[in-house]
Amino acid sequence: MQVAKVRGTVVSTHKLPGMTGVKLLWVQFVDEQGQLLPQYEVVADRIGAGIDEWILVSRRALAPDSDTDDRDLRPIDALAIGIIDTITLGNSLLYSKKDEYRY
């Protein structure tokens, strides 16, 4: 997974049926020192991530919902899978949501 900062949202009304109800975030990746990179991804969000939060991005698909048919695979290739609390390298913090992010 890669780490990215939530920057904004993307709206699409004319889309594939499988995309209905999928919230789309525009996120920007950070490098190994926590600096923003000039690289974005549009990710599906099912965890309710907010602007400026740091998230984990997986490029795997959404698991089919347990109450839908196995063949209903949504055409998603990137997904917010967790909001990051801390990143610790050795004895130092690279990132802490408590310090850097305020509601």
Instruction: Please give the residue ranges that form the binding site for a second copy (CB under 8 A).
Output: 1-3, 7-16, 18-19, 24, 26, 28, 31-32, 38-43, 46-48, 51, 56, 58-64, 66, 70-79, 81-90, 94
Give me the least distance between CB of 87 and a second copy, in Å please.
Answer: 5
- Which amino acid does the sequence have at 8? G
Burial of 34 (0-12, 13-18, 19+ CB in 10 A): middle
Nearest 5°: the CA angle 26, 66, 46 is 20
Q: Which is nearer to a second copy, 16 or 100 (CB)?
A: 16
Task: Tell me whether strands 79-83 and 54-58 are parallel, antiparallel or unpaired.
Answer: antiparallel
Q: Which is nearer to a second copy, 82 or 100 (CB)?
A: 82
Q: Which is nearer to a second copy, 9 or 100 (CB)?
A: 9
